[in-house]
Structures are given as C-alpha cells and as structure tokens.
Amino acid sequence: MSRLFVISGSSGVGKGTVIKEFLNKNPEYKLSISCTTRNMREGEIDGVNYFFLTKSEFEKCVKNGEFLEWAEFSGNCYGTKKEFVNKCLKNGENLILEIDTKGALNVKRIMPEAVLIFIAPPSLEELEARLRGRHTETEEAIQKRLASIKLEIENSKYFDYKIVNDTVENAVKNIENIIFNS
Ligand code: 5GP
C-alpha cells in the first residue's frame, strides 16, 4: 500500500539536502511537486522544483478547491494539489511532501494516516548562519524567515517524529528508521 510522509523543518535547516539524499538512496519514494507564487531561483525548473503560478492563477486554484492544503509563507503562497497526491497514491507510489508545519498539520487533519516528521536545526545560531550562507535572499526576506522559525518549532509539538539535522548522514539514517518502521 502506498504511504504518505510529510517532512517539515525551519528554513535553512538543510531539509532539502537530507530529503534529496534519502531519495537518492530510496528511489521508490517520490517527492511531491507543490505550486508556488514565489519567484523562480537560479537553477530551478518549472514543473520539476515547483509549478510556478501567478497570484491570480493560485487564487483560482484556491477558489476551485484544488488544494489539499495551502499556506502563505514569507509573503508567498505555497500549495499541494489534491489531484497530484491522489494520483500518486492511486499509482501505488510512496509520496513525500516537503511543506511547512502549518500545511503539514492541515494534511494530518484530512489524512490522519500521513506520518509527520520535523527536521530541527542543531542550534538557532547555526540555522541563521546557514540561511545567510545561501546568499539567495535579501536581508528583509531573511528576517521574515527567522521570525517564522519560532512558529514552526511551536507547531512541531504536534508532529509524530522530530529529528535533529546534526549531519546529513545521521539525519537520513533517522528518517529511514522512521519511514521503514512506522
Ligand atoms: P522555499 O521557498 O524555500 O522553496 O520554501 C519555503 C517554505 O515553503 C518551506 O518551508 C517549504 O517546505 C514550504 N512549502 C513548499 N511547498 C509547500 C506546499 O505545497 N505547502 C506548504 N504549506 N508549504 C510548502
């Protein structure tokens, strides 16, 4: 039976790297592709990293009830299409959603069988350093992201599992333990 996992973590926590490594090792798991209104970053491809939508396209999907969940994050909208998730699960695929904690809790409400995993940073100082090290955002955007971290950690109280991203290798091992044994 196909299964649904939701992985969340504060911005800059390195969850993207951890998930990528997990997927390289376990190609039978598939990463969901979300919709977003944020600008495309260098190297990103429409339909691969995200489906990049305009604000009005996104709003139309919201109105039509096409999202399983959606949330505003750092001034941009992000959403998971019901159709995408349902198709994958119907096809027998094991799906991973990489979404924010608010979205994760909404998914759990609708699909209680989903397993929620939170990736925490080893320390807040380190997290701030990682965010700045990416050099992909303005100072204002970084400040916004730092402000949302508190909320993410607060929401993570309701998650099924929490792991600390001390090293990528350890974090991947912990995720494998959870996914294979839950
Ligand atoms: P980024 O802009 O760095 O790609 O993502 C910012 C945040 O949006 C991350 O915390 C990411 O997990 C979250 N996110 C990405 N896709 C979705 C989605 O479909 N729904 C929700 N709720 N959050 C998402």
Return the pLDDT at 75: 87
Report the alpha-carbon distance of residue 99 to residue 80 in Å, rounded: 8
Number of domains the chain contains: 1
* Digit-coded pLDDT (tens) for 106-131: 999 999 999 999 998 888 787 788 77
Residue 133 is inside which H or E element, if any? helix 124-133
Mutate to test the pocket of ligand 1, among 10, 33, 34 (most ligand atoms within 8 A of CB): 34
* Digit-coded pLDDT (tens) for 40-56: 999 999 999 999 999 99
Q: Ligand 1 centroid to 52 CA: how many Å? A: 12
The CB-side HSE value for 67 (13 A sphere, CA atoms) comes to 24
Asked if pLDDT for residue 36 goes beyond 70, the answer is yes
Q: Give nearest CA residue, ligand 1 atom 20.
A: 79
Q: Ligand 1 centroid to 97 CA: how many Å? A: 9
Whether this model's pTM surpasses 0.75: yes
Question: 164 lies in which domain range?
Answer: 4-181
Burial 4-33 (b: 16+ CB within 10 A, else e): bbbbbbbbbbbbeebbebbeeebeebebbb
Report the alpha-carbon distance of residue 146 to residue 169 in Å, rounded: 25
Report the alpha-carbon distance of residue 131 to residue 145 in Å, rounded: 9
Q: For the domain that residue 173 is a member of, what is the CATH number?
A: 3.40.50.300
Percent of the chain with pLDDT over 70: 98
Report the alpha-carbon distance of residue 146 to residue 74 in Å, rounded: 10
